[in-house]
């Protein structure tokens, strides 16, 4: 019984990490370029775009879950993909939820440092693409911090993944949905234990990121 329980726990942790790492990385790859482009550009309606980005940072997870569920359900426009109640759809929901946060945080930080970079690039005749890469290089430590925030958001979210994943045993059950399930059934000790594991995972990711930053410096 203990072996079976340990195997189940490893399975749940593995599914959680797969979902969290995949969704946070995809959100970073989508959100960071958007944030840099918006921050380094001057165009008509920029303020509206910035307000929209910051509004989307507060998307309710349950609303995102419902929208994704409707789009990918059997009667939805993407129902033929048959992704409903799968880890892949949980990742999609998490990316939709997290990338606006990444984009908004990146835009806010880059806007605070972009003026001298843009002036230097203009004086040296550097093109927009190289300027954006220069900005990324100057923002690398902040981007690491943003990724950590995105990962923490992905690994701790429950609403959207519960809706689109269905919390199916041996398939889409992750740590947060397991905690919610055990709380609802009165198994508080197991729920608290899983919560501690979540905290330890977050601590481990932060320690690795700190070591990478030191090596880079």
Q: What is the pLDDT of residue 19?
A: 94
Give the HSE-up count for residue 91: Cα atoms under 13 Å, Cβ half-sphere.
17
The confidence score (pLDDT) of residue 68 equals: 96
For residue 132, the model assigns a pLDDT of 87
Nearest Cα to 19, choosing from 77, 78, 82, 95?
95
Chain segment 135-159, per-residue pLDDT in tens: 888 888 888 888 888 998 899 888 8
Please identify, in words, the CATH class of the domain defined by 2-216.
Answer: mainly alpha
**Contacts of 122 by beta carbon, 8 Å cutoff, 6+ apart:** none
Strand, helix or coil at 167?
coil
Locate the domains of the chain by residue range.
Answer: 2-216
Rounded to 10 deg, the angle between the 87-124 and 128-138 helix axes is 110
- Residue 2's pLDDT is 41
Asked if residue 131 has pLDDT above 80, the reply is yes
- pLDDT tops 70 at residue 129: yes
The pTM for the full model equals 0.87
Integer Cα distance of 31 and 29 in angstroms: 6
State CA 66 to chain mean position distance: 18
pLDDT in tens, 54-110: 899 988 999 999 999 999 998 899 999 999 999 999 999 999 999 999 999 999 989
Q: What is the pLDDT at residue 100? A: 95
What is the tens place of the pLDDT at every residue in 3-35?
A: 456 788 889 989 999 999 999 999 999 999 999
Per this entry, what is the length of the chain?
217
């Amino acid at each position: 019984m203990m072996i079976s329980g340990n195997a189940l726990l490893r399975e749940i942790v593995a599914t959680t990490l797969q979902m969290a790492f995949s969704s946070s990385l995809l959100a970073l790859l989508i959100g960071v370029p958007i944030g840099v482009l918006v921050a380094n550009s001057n165009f008509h309606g920029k303020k509206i775009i910035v307000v929209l980005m910051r509004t989307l940072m507060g998307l309710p997870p349950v609303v995102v879950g419902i929208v994704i569920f409707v789009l990918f359900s059997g009667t939805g426009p993407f129902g033929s993909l048959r992704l409903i109640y799968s880890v892949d759809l949980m990742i999609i929901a998490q990316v939709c939820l997290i990338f606006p946060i990444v984009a908004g945080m990146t835009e806010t930080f880059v806007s605070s440092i972009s003026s001298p970079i843009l002036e230097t690039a203009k004086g040296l005749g550097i093109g927009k693409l190289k300027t954006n890469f220069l900005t990324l290089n100057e923002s690398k430590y902040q981007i690491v911090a943003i990724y950590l925030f995105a990962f923490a958001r992905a690994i701790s979210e429950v609403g959207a993944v519960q809706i689109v994943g269905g919390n199916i045993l041996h398939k889409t059950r992750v740590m947060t949905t397991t905690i919610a399930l055990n709380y609802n059934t009165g198994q508080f000790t197991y729920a608290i234990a899983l919560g501690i594991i979540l905290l330890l995972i977050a601590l481990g990711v932060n320690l690795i990121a700190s070591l990478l930053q030191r090596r880079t410096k």
